[in-house]
Amino acid sequence: MVFILSWSVKYKQQEICALNGSTVFMNGTFTHPEYLTVTETFWFIHPVKDVEPTDLSKDPDYSGRVEFFTDKQKHFSLKLSEVMKKDEHHFYFRIITNVEKERWAGEPGVQLRVTGELIIPLSSYKTQLWIQKAPEEVTEGQTADLTCKTTCSLTDPTFIWYKNGHPLTTKTIKNNQLHLQTVSSEDAGSYSCAVGGSQHLRSTAHSLRVRYPPKRVSVSISPSGEIVEGSSVNLTCSSDGNPPVKIYTWFKGSTSVGEGKTYSIPNIRSEHSGEYTCQSQNDHGARNSTSVYLNVTCKLMLRYSVKFNRNSNTKILFFKFFICCRSSKERLSVLQSL
């Protein structure tokens, strides 16, 4: 039979990094001379030579935040909740026995480091941008990497990414990096990250904007419905782009007929009939809308008057028709009397 005659305290980790506000565990094993009986164990900080340390659970700064565990196999652990920056200390395991002078403090203890806010730098092809300073932009088609960083190295962390508050499951996540392959306009949004087990402790959200050429270019006609010769018509071009579209060019067929977001035709005539297209342009390209067809219908007006012929004792009706044909110049006036 082998008797243990020496002391030992072995910590699983001698340095731990924890997120501010999280819960951390410090674990280890110990041995003691077998002729001694352990009567008490606790954790403490701030060792002072020849002064009995204070049980951490009795420290006002830690009361209610710490729990100690010890089993018959001589495993021990400390659970520290609601970790704060001021908790950055060395933590030591203390063993008290039935012999007054036989006590032991486990050196060198566990160094706790606390990382504050998670930070997300954004890497694009040529440069590294810290998007927590200001919203940054990438161009559609580029590759971008977002990296979730802490001020100290967490132990075997699992990183979780969020876009607009929702977990990302369809993107490539490797270690602490979110890889955006061939960025599209749909990748624009607010990104944040968290560590598994502490999802409630997310990083500050950071905005990612994507520059892209015009998309979804369309033309609307106002007023809607039948277009009658002599009325006024507005064609309005709508599109989505970043930066916003500022240059609009209008075409009738292949001929440029105007510029601006709205193309107005006052007193429209039959020769305005035809296919119209809007071209939207920004710094990253141009795109045309689907053509719309303006069909200008002819105007028919009927006017009549009644005159009484006393000589013949009859009524005469005068009708006047105004009809447009292929051209507004080809007008036909008909006078018919009955």
Contacts by residues 51-55 (CB-CB < 8 Å, ≥ 24 positions apart): 53/92, 53/94, 53/105, 55/94
Interatomic CA distance for residues 37 and 298, integer angstroms: 110
Residue 21: which of 86, 110, 93, 92 has the closest Cα?
A: 86
Contact between residue 18 and residue 114 where contact means Cβ atoms under 8 Å apart:
yes
* DSSP label at residue 284: T
**Which CATH number, 3.30.750.24, 3.50.50.60, 2.40.160.10, 2.60.40.10, labels domain 8-115?**
2.60.40.10
Interatomic CA distance for residues 235 and 259, integer angstroms: 11
Amino acid at 326: R
- Cα dihedral 165/170/174/178 (nearest 10): -50
Backbone CA torsion sign across 131, 137, 139, 141 = positive
Predicted pLDDT of residue 66: 96
Cα–Cα–Cα angle for 92, 95, 97, rounded to 5 degrees: 165
Interatomic CA distance for residues 136 and 20, integer angstroms: 27
Sequential pLDDT tens for the chain (338 residues): 455 678 999 999 999 988 888 899 999 999 999 899 999 999 999 999 889 999 999 999 998 999 999 999 999 999 999 999 899 999 999 999 999 889 999 999 999 998 876 666 654 432 222 333 334 788 999 888 888 887 777 777 888 899 999 998 877 777 788 888 889 999 999 998 888 878 888 888 888 999 999 999 999 999 988 999 999 999 999 999 999 999 999 999 999 999 999 999 999 999 999 999 999 999 999 999 999 999 998 876 555 565 656 666 665 555 555 555 444 334 433 333 33
Could you tell me where in the chain the CATH 2.60.40.10 domains are found? 8-115, 121-204, 213-297
Homologous superfamily assigned to 213-297: Immunoglobulins (2.60.40.10)
User: CB within 8 A of 185, min separation 6: which ones?
Assistant: 140, 210, 212, 215, 240, 242
Is the bond into 223 cis (omega within 30 degrees of 0)?
yes
Name the region of 187 (left: φ>0; alpha: ψ -120 to 50; beta: rest). Answer: alpha
Task: Name 195's bridge partners.
Answer: 159, 198
Interatomic CA distance for residues 144 and 318, integer angstroms: 79
User: CB within 8 A of 48, min separation 6: which ones?
Assistant: none
Cα–Cα–Cα angle for 142, 148, 150, rounded to 5 degrees: 150
Predicted pLDDT of residue 3: 56
Largest CA distance in the chain: 152
Cα of 154 vs its chain's centroid, Å: 25
Predicted pLDDT of residue 306: 57
Query: Coil, helix or strand for 113?
Result: strand
Residue 132: which of 27, 208, 23 has the closest Cα?
A: 208
* DSSP label at residue 315: E
Give the pair of three-digit tokens for residue 131: 């998007």
Contact between residue 14 and residue 108 where contact means Cβ atoms under 8 Å apart:
yes
Interatomic CA distance for residues 227 and 221, integer angstroms: 10
- Cα dihedral 34/36/42/48 (nearest 10): -110
CATH numeric code, 121-204: 2.60.40.10
